Chain A
């Protein structure tokens, strides 16, 4: 941490995006008129999606000059790694903003593959691709004498805290206006929880679910249904209807937005602090409520979950215990 900011100067804030969809940037805009309060309280010194500051402006700042940097998106390329290391050095607080930065997010599901497989699909095999020369991105190429560089594309997607030290996480895909406002409030007031805290309630979503009263004491499921296969009762607990809902294994704070839209929770707020591996815990919660006591029936009921990794680690594969699909490490690297 650097010298304290002079009383007259407004705190400096930066926003940056890595491997993400842009939804987290939208989420900031979704603060609507509240964003004017934010702009009044802080100086935004870097925000590539909205303002014209460049990387060299950040590089020119003193270490710790930025009060808080909000980084959304997972880390997939060398450029993203460079930028988050730069922002870490220049900022007093670095916040993982949204599920991708906090846990790896949807882009993190690419950890089921590797660079070669992704390039093959994206640049060679997808039906809309025309690439007769089979050109693939290279970190360095010299077409017609020009020296061109591209960021390196890692085999493995990482969450922000797997690359740099992170002070706080603002969860969600994307974070909701309420928890963004609360996070900003905490930063501006200086009433900060211990480092590493996820800035959302530390209880499961079921605790604040609008349908909480209809959740049976004992759930017993004989058939899992996916949302497109059934018209869900808008008043009853979705799990009680056999619809996979990650509420029991997901942190609260979103106010049950998906549930209010009659869609099940998919887990974007990540686990509560007592859980290390969101997918393992979610899998445990869902499998345990199956109403069957023999292998055959259990297998039949579970066949309605065709993609366990995509279901239980939808937002958190890089942050999971296994992190990615197994790749044989070079033998000399040891175990």
Chain B
């Protein structure tokens, strides 16, 4: 379900919606650590926990954009540290190609990021999220909806 994009009264500015896929072994734990350490970061990300960043099918990213996300962030373990040995390498390969493809579809590549954060890097994760939220805020809403078309006064005869 799409959430309304109304500008919240509390901030009075565009608040981007960012879907974040975090792997359960590293990035999610980093977010968890940020939380239990009482670090504050922008509340704009909707975290979806996945077993491995390699589980993030490019279809998930496209669907997030198609359904109203202004940005998509994938978080995985650092290269070499994947719990499943090679999952994050697959993510890395897909990311480079997918980023180019979404750019060809008119979506600024800055809206799609892949970042590594280990379980001990709560501070790093906080910075990534804050930075991405600011970047996407500057880019503005994505507004992907395909506009309906009409021809001045010429109704489709059905």
Contact = CB atoms under 8 A, between A and B. Distances in A.
B142 A326 contact: yes
* Chain A contact patch, size range: 35 or more
Contacts of A154: 149
A281 B59 contact: yes
B80 to A, nearest CB: 8
Contact of A298 (B58, B93, B143): B93
Interface stretch (A26-34, A81-89, A168-176, A182-190): A81-89
Interface in A244-286: 275-277, 279-281, 283-284, 286
A203 interface: no
Contacts of A156: 146, 149
A326 B143 CA distance: 8
Main secondary structure of the interface of A (DSSP, over half): mixed
Interface string A118-158: 00000000000000000000011000000001001011100
Interface in A61-81: 78, 81
A320 interface: yes
A326 B104 contact: no
A37 interface: no
Given A292-B93, A322-B66, A327 B147 contact: yes
B62 A277 contact: yes
Contacts of A112: 104-105
Contacts of B147: 155, 327, 329-330, 333
19 contacts: A82-B157, A139-B151, A140-B154, A152-B149, A152-B151, A152-B156, A156-B146, A277-B62, A281-B58, A287-B98, A288-B90, A302-B97, A302-B100, A305-B97, A309-B104, A321-B63, A321-B65, A329-B146, A331-B143
